[in-house]
Chain A
Amino acid sequence: MLSASLLIALGWILTAGIAGLSHAFSITLVLPATSVILLCHVAFDRERSLAAGMTMAIILGYLEDLHQGLPTGTLTLAFALVYLALSWLSLRLAVSGSIVRALTALIACFAVDLLTWGILVALADPLGISREGLRSGLRMIHWHALATMLAAPAVWGMIAGLDAFVRRRRRGTKSANPGTQLPFRH
């Protein structure tokens, strides 16, 4: 199992990488939400407690808030709620294979975007956001979800690769541990 800090670091790097990519190539619509894919992984690998997974969801959402420039707490709340829903789903469904993972990421991305949109509409007045702008933004959600779906197998593969690397390292450290070796004979 990958440690939470490693997953968060990977999520952060991917978010920053995508932000850099979007700036460099002037792409604003078809960008994958890599943190949502990580969120799906955290929810469906079922190796963490609900509290730990939720904490990770909140941290990933908070980092997304910072990178996307949204009012702090918007994506944090959306990520937390979607994580709860995904955790509940993980008790009933198993996600394996690239296609199912991609579809899961698509649905999760839709859910996060719709929740974010709902939160922003609800808080449009105190936040001073135009509802017209939000309505036009809603029409672009499917592009975001589609990009996330396309990126999902790659990100999942990246997590698997990192996991295998960490396991190898741990095994190597364990075998090199003098405590596990035979004592010297004088």
Chain B
Amino acid sequence: MATSSRTIRDVFVVLLLLGIPLLLLRSATQDPHRLSPFDRTVRRIGGPLEAGLGYAATTVGSFFERWLLQARLQEINAEVNGENRLLRLRLRELLRVEEENRELRRSLQMRDKVAEDMLAAEVTAFEQSPYFRVLKLVLDRGDRFVLPGMAVLADTGVVGRIDRVTDDRSDVMLITDPRSKVAVEVARTRAAGILEGAGEDHCIVVVASETPVEVGDFIQTTGVDDLFPKSHPVGRVVAVENLVGDQQRLEVLPAVRFDRLNMAWVILASAPPPDSQAELRRAQPAARGLQPLR
């Protein structure tokens, strides 16, 4: 009797419990606009409960998701870091190549700009003053290629002259050296003068003050010394001092940054004079096929 009453109770409880999912399913299948009062009650009770449980489920789920993702992200991060390191190395190499390419392009343009016979030389060393100003450059060309006194140029301007030559290298006397003298002119006024080195990083030139020179005027070579090509940039006027006797003393800052120079050009020979007969000597090509009968 006791067993049967327990069985009946179990059956009753099971049926009651089975009613819960059935009610939930019934509520899920109902049109939300036409709910019976019973369904509405079920929704009213179940809604907040479901929302709360849903929120908790999402939170717990997202915690695990984040946890797993973090482990995965760490692996990805390590991979990306390695890749980044390689790319940085590659970028550095590319920047070096780009700089080299730019330099070569400038050198090619230099060939077009200057008609003189030139020899490219690499700057292998430089001597500095106690104030870190460049006093002397050393080129990788020895006495087989260059001679003392030859002019040295860079794409941005005049560098100086070959001073001393050994078997495999040559020293350059810069235009800032007090021994240096270069025939120059003011690009705007054409006032000529001799540019002398004043040590450290500037030069001095004295010119006639018929047309006053201003700060910022450009100084270029005249080419009268048969050493430097004509109209090659030398520097920029940074200070003007009026002297007695209609003269101006100009302080010039060289156009070339000697400390950043990697490549220079040595002028081996002056440009040949223009050939006035060249046009006449050019052979006229004979027309073929369609020339008139003679």
Contact = CB atoms under 8 A, between A and B. Distances in A.
A67 interface: yes
A20 B62 contact: yes
Nearest to A123: B29
Contact of B14 (A17, A71, A72, A84): A84
B23 A73 contact: yes
Nearest to B11: A50
A85 to B, nearest CB: 12
Contacts of B22: 73, 77
Given A16-B61, A54-B13, A54-B14, A73 B21 contact: yes
A51 B13 contact: yes
A72 B54 CA distance: 11
A80 interface: yes
A71 B24 CA distance: 9
Interface in B50-101: 50, 53-54, 57, 60-69, 72
Which of A13, A77, A127 is packed against the most chain B CB atoms within 10 Å? Answer: A77
A66 B30 CA distance: 18
Contacts of B57: 12, 16, 63, 66-67
A19 interface: yes
B214 interface: no
Q: Is the interface of B mostly helix, strand, loop or mixed?
A: helix
Interface residues of A, number: 34
Interface string A95-116: 0000000000000000000000
B68 A24 contact: yes
A118 to B, nearest CB: 12
B17 interface: yes
Interface of B: 10, 13-14, 17-18, 20-30, 46, 50, 53-54, 57, 60-69, 72
Interface of A: 12-13, 16-17, 19-21, 23-25, 49-51, 54-55, 58, 61-63, 66-67, 71-74, 76-77, 80-81, 84, 119, 123, 126-127
